[in-house]
Chain A
Amino acid sequence: MPKRDDLHRILLIGSGPIVIGQACEFDYSGTQACQALRREGYEVVLINSNPATIMTDPDLANRTYVEPITAEVVERIIERERPDALLPTMGGQTALNVTIDLHKRGILEKHDVQLIGANYDAIIKAEDRETFKRVMAKIGLATPLSRLTRTREDAVKFLEIVGFPAIVRPSFTLGGTGGNVAYNREEFERDVDWALLTSPVGEALIERSLIGWKEYELEVMRDLNDNVVIVCPIENFDAMGIHTGDSITVAPAMTLTDKEYQRMRDAAIRIIQEVGVDTGGSNIQFAVNPENGEMIVIEMNPRVSRSSALASKATGFPIAKIAAKLAVGYTLDEITNDVTHVTKAAFEPTIDYVVVKVPRFAFEKFHGSDPTLTTQMKSVGEAMALGRTFKEAFHKALRSLEIDRCGLVSLNALDHYLPEDGPRQDALERVRTATRAPHPDRPWHVADGLRLGLSKEELFTATHVDPWFLDQLEELVLFERQLLRHARKHPNADDTAETLTVPFQETESRDLLKDAKRLGFSDERLAQLLATTAADVRAFRKTHLADQRVTYSRVDTCAAEFEAMTPYLYSTYGRECEARPTNREKVIILGGGPNRIGQGIEFDYCCVHAASALRELGIETIMINCNPETVSTDYDASDRLYFEPLTEEDVLNVIDVERPMGVVVQFGGQTPLKLALPLARAGIPILGTSPDAIDLAEDRERFSALLTTLGLRQPRNGTARSDEEAFALGSRIGYPVIVRPSYVLGGRAMQIVYDEPSLRLYVKTNVLTPAQYPLLIDQYLTDAVEVDVDAISDGTDVVVAGVLEHVEEAGIHSGDSACSLPPHSLAPALIDIIREQTVALARELHVVGLMNVQFAVRDHDVYILEVNPRASRTVPFVSKTIGVPVAKLAMKAMVGHSLQDLRFTTVPPIRHVAVKESVFPFTKFGNVDVLLGPEMRSTGEVMGIDRDFGWAFAKSQAAAGLSLPRAGTVIMSVKDGDKPGTLKVARRLQALGFTIQATRGTGAYLLKHGLTVETVNKVKEGRPHLVDHIKNRRATLVVNTVGTTSSQADSLSIRREALHQNLPYFTTIQGIQAAVTAMEVMTKSSLTVKPLQDYHPT
């Protein structure tokens, strides 16, 4: 069928900020959909509150609304734009939920907007668990025994039927907020309460546990002619009981016979037909009993998902792009396979390699959180790798994680010699304990178990990891043992403490080393095993194993049956290299690796822009990255894509084949930046700012000297290489101080310390030794305003692209604070000083490309906190606010274009305000304090843009999921230092009509200054106390600021409860001040929406 010509304008809903469970994959799908629809001649109207996305680039959609994704806002957009259709399947759960809301309110009907892709009935059939169960029963498929409940009592009754362990899930929640596993009555009741609270409709699902069953996912596509294809079967390494987002997953499915697979495939086809997803992709999950093959349907997502992004990258079949075309009426046979150019999209990819995805966790950021993996997703990112075998892909995936592990390393020092008794016994105990419960390190402990000789049977009982996978790990461990035996002078001497040598002169040993590379061992891992250095292993291989080179194979969707026209490549040690590099002028761009806190989509955005800038200049672009969620790993985003780990070895391998004119390290965040010096040492040209300048900015001592030269001020600081040095430094600088280990991004383990005892405690609990990672200690500037500046330089001229004033005070991580562009309170004179200093720094560092500087302003003094000569997290936000593609220009400057040539010498004045707000994953981590601090914990960000600060801030809050109240009761409990500020806020709130409740101290202060206040008890003061009020939903707003550690502990329950109730809460005075400003404008004028294209008319 040809495409529909009755549709002209299509509304596309994005997924909003990056949260656990909804990450870059929806930028990838949204971007593909946008491009596909526009290429077909449709006008695309887009809404997404996340500025760090490629899809919100103003040249992607026709009309781009960076606005909160709520039914209210979408209705305004529909009124303004009058779209013919809405495509709700590209923006994750967010888009589906808003679509359901729009339908229920009759908005779609009223404005005659047709749903394409999936209709309302299909969405409900798939999303509503009870309906889904009924539908499955109708088509003869089993679902887990379950009951939907609205009360704890009812849940407990059903428990008698399902027994323990039982699964408890909230209904209708965002992608990541899955369920919990209860093993006893207490856990069960707690989980039920949590689920009832978390569910937006107050419903929980109690379900029979299938823990230990094998878990599978099928990506299914359907067109309007009822043709259905399965894009990829995925098998989970981790059995049922761990959220698939937190599981290691493998494609293709490994342990299903054809009969079992076809039964699953048949079921998937019946499901998509019966649910009625008209066109596009769906994801269907199955559980299979390993003992008898019984198959149960777990769930279906009637939309593209994280797994479909994975399946697209795993097979080369672009699900979202094709789904968008199917939505407008094409059938699968009418769409050409991009990769082969000769076959059609109507086929099922077959792959001749193995794909492994490994989740990336961030528990270290959430003190007090339990790292046990459950059915609720907690990982913040993922890395994917391709290899010719599972073993090779697994190794590559593990070293892609950016957790300082070069593969399947031993966590219990088992690489070499372990005496039989004491230590070995200890290690066994540790491993046994560690393998019993699922947690992020378990795969490594399983390998250690095998190293210690635990049987696969025992490990299977502990982990439920399929014996096939355990066998694969055992093969790796056995190989390590063989390698070690050869590496020692005496064969079979592996229980002596002999010194290790590398006697790889004999052919047999050399063959072994070749096998090691085929098994995916990195040089670094081999160096660990052979007690030498990675450089030596590499040098040895280059000299003595010259006939074994890394080769690149193409991802071709068809296991080599047809020629692949797209250079989408992965490394292996094979017989033929299919890279076929061109002779063009080319540049390699290093991506950012897996998402983690501190490094996310913003850097991927910058990499994609770098690629597109180079393409505009006719330079060939080569992307290296290992994050399957991203736009940068779309084979269309650059000329050539190497899906590879971002390690020195893997990157050098690509460079050897491609011979680029240079490598770009400054767009992908810390991951590629770390490689700048090693690559430069290997003689590889680094484009833009020199590695030495990067080091200068990172090296505290060199940097201090530089500031002194320039006459610039920084907080007093120093570096301590021992505990004692740290204490001495603390007293010299004067408390409070900020302390952290060096070379960590996102302020990992960073803390504000108010006195020496606290510093002693910090040093004692710090896991990184100061000798290895020196401690950086800085004076903490209290009550200072923090400012972020993004600038661009061509080596001669410097343009300050944006000066961003933080809403929260300095000391709160810049990635976690809200900020405003232009500044909402800074005096123009101070802004000028900041600009001048930025320019001076850029010149002194010879920056070519981007630079980010963090300033603190106290009174009239400007301090420099940090300089990063690279793309920063705020680049996309700044670009969208000022209407200039800053990253693109920087890339062009890096290959020799002057800012003059690029016609970017000043920033055009803007008449609007944009506020960036951070989004936190606190609901996913039980009992973690939500107080903001120097350690970054946000996963994503949103942008509010409007005519003034008030509205921009209001929109940013709404976009972050916080609905600011227009009236009601505010509960205030603040620290002494904040009382004057609180008074001002309280007066304004009273003027807005709020009733004020306050704890005794705060209340007394407010009363004294003439406000009407009801006093409430603190938790310790007897009941009812303020937490009771919050629980009873007596409050509509909470303001709680605290100082010392002990008062933080006392008031934790207030903040957690506000979080649970999804009640707007503010933990800084600056935050509530901004919120009150927003609430004031909200009463005076009404919400308006405006696309980016209207903010920056061309």
Chain B
Amino acid sequence: MRNAALLALADGTIFEGRALGFHGETSGEVVFNTAMTGYQEILTDPSYKGQMIVMTCPHVGNYGIAREDDESRRTWAEGFIVSEASRSPSNWRSALSLQEYLVQHRLVGIEGIDTRYLTRRLRNHGSQVGVISHVDLDPAHLRAQAKTLPSTTGRDLVGTVTCASSYEWKDGTESWPSYVDADGQPVPVPTRRFHVVVYDFGVKHNILRRLVDEGCTVTVVPAATTAEAVRGMNPDGILLSNGPGDPEGASYAVPHVQDLLGWRPMLGICLGHQLLGLALGLPTYKLKFGHHGANHPVMDVRSRKIAITSQNHNFAVTMPSVDPSTGVFATPWGQFAPTHVSLNDECLEGLAGKSVPVLSLQYHPEAAPGPHDASYLFRQFRRMMEQFHA
């Protein structure tokens, strides 16, 4: 076969397909994402560091690549696995094709395989590591290689994706607002400005854009920044960003989170939520195959309102046992309550402090890609700061 490529999983399964993207070989944990749009955002989401992404969507690359849709400065996924990549994209914003983009970012991929079969394997047997190769087409050899690959558990992937030094972020969502009033206009930016320090565990740009929308001055700091350093910046609020891999791998951040808890309003997103969980003493665990998609229903247990959310995580925070009458659990920082649960598998999706201004979400209120149902939570974070600083 021309441009042949192979994918080998650690369990020995071999997929024959066609080479996609940069010519070479790559490996990582194979995870599937069920979103039907947003491959570019997914490829540039630092949370995919260490992972090769299978898109369940049948055609990928249809609308090409638009620079403004990048969610970070580069792609982070280790490999890209699709059923069919479009030869020629069609969209008014498209600047280049998926193939060109993958080559530019030296990202190795494979297409032309039965992604449903692969997905069903991952679902039934759990996520596993694998190798994609365009150069080594010997199945036995590749299979052996796949078996030796490390898993993501316990690894510090955050260190590889976080920024080297702190920086200011200035852009909002601009022509693509995700939080609009009933009249369809972007919700007005409040006049009072708040300074938010964002811990970059692998932050997506849309988190920063949404903070700017909310009238925040944003400083992004490296993952290893100390609590002391943060205090020195005197922010009005702190955001713990999303990021890749196992929160245990980034446990060096936990003491700083503990230190800052209650000092200023805090919002945790995804990995940030998991680190908050660890800080509160809630253990995390690895999900069988994770949640990766844009259709995950999450219920706010207080209002029974449902948000369809964007999710991307392989680890989750253990559901705390709560006092049945009050629905809360005790921590050294006072009482906390589980606020959000997944309707799919009843996973913990959100936590809030009763007496300390903390909001923590396993899913992605910044979407990108995915529904904007949870975008209001950035406004809620702002309100927390308003109340705190009133």
Q: Which residues of A contact B (CB under 8 A)?
A: 138-141, 225-227, 229-230, 233, 252-263, 265-267, 270, 273-274, 289-293, 331-333, 342-344, 346-354, 388-390, 466-468, 471, 475, 511, 553, 558-563, 574-576
Among B69, B93, B176, B306, the residue within 8 A (CB) of A333 is: B306
Q: Determine whether the beta carbon of B119 is less than 8 Å from that of A293.
A: no
Q: Determine whether the beta carbon of B93 is less than 8 Å from that of A293.
A: yes
Bound-complex Cα distance A274 to B180 (A): 14
Task: Identify which of residues 165-180 in chain B touch chain A, using a CB-to-CB cut-off of 8 Å.
Answer: 176, 178, 180
Q: Determine whether the beta carbon of A468 is less than 8 Å from that of B343.
A: no
Q: Determine whether the beta carbon of B344 is less than 8 Å from that of A560.
A: no
Q: Determine whether the beta carbon of A139 is less than 8 Å from that of B184.
A: yes
Q: Determine whether the beta carbon of A352 is less than 8 Å from that of B56.
A: yes
Tell whether A352 pairs with B58 under 8 Å between CB atoms, given A227-B306, A258-B37, A471-B87: yes
Q: Determine whether the beta carbon of A346 is less than 8 Å from that of B297.
A: yes
For B40, list chain A residues within 8 Å (CB).
Answer: 257-258
Tell whether A511 pairs with B1 under 8 Å between CB atoms, given A468-B89, A574-B114: yes
Q: Which residues of B contact A (CB under 8 A)?
A: 1, 32, 34-38, 40-41, 56-59, 62-63, 66, 69, 83-84, 86-93, 114-117, 119-120, 123, 176, 178, 180, 182-185, 293-297, 299, 304-306, 308, 343-345, 367-372
Among A258, A350, A354, the residue within 8 A (CB) of B369 is: A258
For A253, list chain B residues within 8 Å (CB).
Answer: 36-37
Q: Determine whether the beta carbon of A471 is less than 8 Å from that of B69.
A: no
In the complex formed, the residue of B with least CB distance to A560 is B119
15 additional A-B residue pairs with CB within 8 Å, beyond A225-B306, A233-B36, A347-B295: A139-B184, A140-B183, A252-B36, A255-B63, A257-B40, A257-B66, A257-B91, A262-B367, A292-B92, A333-B343, A347-B308, A348-B371, A352-B57, A354-B58, A466-B90
Among A138, A263, A293, A347, the residue within 8 A (CB) of B344 is: A347
For A475, list chain B residues within 8 Å (CB).
Answer: 87
Q: Determine whether the beta carbon of A574 is less than 8 Å from that of B370.
A: no
Q: Determine whether the beta carbon of B299 is less than 8 Å from that of A258.
A: no
For A353, list chain B residues within 8 Å (CB).
Answer: 58, 116
Q: Determine whether the beta carbon of B116 is less than 8 Å from that of A560.
A: yes
For B58, list chain A residues within 8 Å (CB).
Answer: 351-354, 388-390
Bound-complex Cα distance A1083 to B242 (A): 78
Q: Determine whether the beta carbon of A257 is less than 8 Å from that of B90.
A: no
In the complex formed, the residue of B with least CB distance to A468 is B90
Tell whether A290 pairs with B92 under 8 Å between CB atoms, given A344-B297, A354-B58, A576-B120: yes
Q: Determine whether the beta carbon of B59 is less than 8 Å from that of A354.
A: yes
Q: Determine whether the beta carbon of A258 is less than 8 Å from that of B370.
A: yes
Q: Determine whether the beta carbon of A389 is less than 8 Å from that of B59.
A: yes
Residue of A141, A233, A346 with most chain B CB atoms under a 10 A cut-off: A346
Tell whether A343 pairs with B343 under 8 Å between CB atoms, given A255-B90, A266-B372, A354-B59: yes
Q: Determine whether the beta carbon of B116 is less than 8 Å from that of A388.
A: yes
B319 to chain A, nearest CB (A): 17
Bound-complex Cα distance A289 to B123 (A): 39
Bound-complex Cα distance A263 to B295 (A): 16
Tell whether A257 pairs with B117 under 8 Å between CB atoms, given A347-B308, A475-B87: no
A886 to chain B, nearest CB (A): 42
In the complex formed, the residue of A with least CB distance to B342 is A343
Q: Determine whether the beta carbon of B117 is less than 8 Å from that of A254.
A: no
Tell whether A560 pairs with B56 under 8 Å between CB atoms, given A262-B370, A266-B372, A575-B117: yes
Tell whether A263 pairs with B116 under 8 Å between CB atoms, given A257-B66, A258-B370, A389-B58: no
For B119, list chain A residues within 8 Å (CB).
Answer: 352, 559-561
Q: Determine whether the beta carbon of B56 is less than 8 Å from that of A140.
A: no
Residue of A255, A343, A349 with most chain B CB atoms under a 10 A cut-off: A255
Among B59, B295, B299, the residue within 8 A (CB) of A348 is: B295
Bound-complex Cα distance A1051 to B88 (A): 56
For A229, list chain B residues within 8 Å (CB).
Answer: 297, 308
Contacts between the two chains (Cβ within 8 Å), count: 189
Among A226, A260, A559, A562, the residue within 8 A (CB) of B305 is: A226
Give 20 CB contacts A-B under 8 Å.
A139-B184, A225-B304, A227-B305, A257-B40, A257-B63, A258-B35, A260-B91, A262-B369, A265-B371, A270-B184, A344-B297, A344-B343, A350-B57, A353-B58, A389-B83, A390-B59, A468-B62, A560-B123, A561-B56, A561-B123
In the complex formed, the residue of A with least CB distance to B114 is A575
Q: Determine whether the beta carbon of B93 is less than 8 Å from that of A257.
A: yes
Q: Determine whether the beta carbon of B90 is less than 8 Å from that of A467.
A: yes
In the complex formed, the residue of B with least CB distance to A261 is B37
Closest 10 CB pairs of A and B: A140-B184, A258-B38, A258-B369, A559-B56, A468-B90, A258-B37, A575-B114, A348-B295, A352-B56, A575-B117
Q: Determine whether the beta carbon of B34 is less than 8 Å from that of A262.
A: no
Bound-complex Cα distance A252 to B305 (A): 26
In the complex formed, the residue of B with least CB distance to A391 is B84
Q: Determine whether the beta carbon of A560 is less than 8 Å from that of B120.
A: yes
For B305, list chain A residues within 8 Å (CB).
Answer: 225-227
Q: Determine whether the beta carbon of A348 is less than 8 Å from that of B57.
A: no
Q: Determine whether the beta carbon of A350 is less than 8 Å from that of B1.
A: no
A872 to chain B, nearest CB (A): 41
For A351, list chain B residues within 8 Å (CB).
Answer: 36, 58
B31 to chain A, nearest CB (A): 12
Q: Determine whether the beta carbon of B117 is less than 8 Å from that of A332.
A: no
Among A225, A274, A388, the residue within 8 A (CB) of B83 is: A388
For A230, list chain B residues within 8 Å (CB).
Answer: 308
In the complex formed, the residue of B with least CB distance to A289 is B92
Q: Determine whether the beta carbon of B114 is less than 8 Å from that of A140.
A: no
For B32, list chain A residues within 8 Å (CB).
Answer: 559-561
For B69, list chain A residues within 8 Å (CB).
Answer: 257-259
Bound-complex Cα distance A252 to B37 (A): 10
B19 to chain A, nearest CB (A): 16
Q: Determine whether the beta carbon of A349 is less than 8 Å from that of B295.
A: yes
Q: Determine whether the beta carbon of A348 is less than 8 Å from that of B306.
A: no
Residue of A226, A349, A352 with most chain B CB atoms under a 10 A cut-off: A352
For A255, list chain B residues within 8 Å (CB).
Answer: 62-63, 90-91
In the complex formed, the residue of A with least CB distance to B375 is A266
Q: Determine whether the beta carbon of A266 is less than 8 Å from that of B343.
A: no
For B343, list chain A residues within 8 Å (CB).
Answer: 333, 343-344, 346-347
A728 to chain B, nearest CB (A): 58
Residue of B304, B370, B371 with most chain A CB atoms under a 10 A cut-off: B371
For A575, list chain B residues within 8 Å (CB).
Answer: 114, 117
Bound-complex Cα distance A855 to B305 (A): 64
Q: Determine whether the beta carbon of A352 is less than 8 Å from that of B306.
A: no
Tell whether A263 pairs with B62 under 8 Å between CB atoms, given A138-B183, A389-B83, A471-B87: no
In the complex formed, the residue of B with least CB distance to A576 is B117
B370 to chain A, nearest CB (A): 7
Among B90, B117, B176, B182, the residue within 8 A (CB) of A471 is: B90
For B35, list chain A residues within 8 Å (CB).
Answer: 258, 350
Bound-complex Cα distance A1013 to B104 (A): 89
In the complex formed, the residue of B with least CB distance to A265 is B371
Bound-complex Cα distance A265 to B309 (A): 13
Bound-complex Cα distance A289 to B116 (A): 33
Residue of B62, B176, B293, B294 with most chain A CB atoms under a 10 A cut-off: B62
Bound-complex Cα distance A864 to B115 (A): 58
Among A258, A290, A331, the residue within 8 A (CB) of B41 is: A258
Bound-complex Cα distance A236 to B117 (A): 29
For B38, list chain A residues within 8 Å (CB).
Answer: 257-258
Q: Determine whether the beta carbon of B306 is less than 8 Å from that of A262.
A: no
Tell whether A331 pairs with B304 under 8 Å between CB atoms, given A257-B91, A559-B34: yes
Q: Determine whether the beta carbon of A561 is less than 8 Å from that of B367.
A: no
Bound-complex Cα distance A274 to B184 (A): 11
Bound-complex Cα distance A260 to B37 (A): 10
Bound-complex Cα distance A576 to B120 (A): 10
A274 to chain B, nearest CB (A): 7
A374 to chain B, nearest CB (A): 25
For B178, list chain A residues within 8 Å (CB).
Answer: 262, 266
Bound-complex Cα distance A553 to B87 (A): 26
For B120, list chain A residues within 8 Å (CB).
Answer: 560, 576
Q: Determine whether the beta carbon of A352 is less than 8 Å from that of B371.
A: no
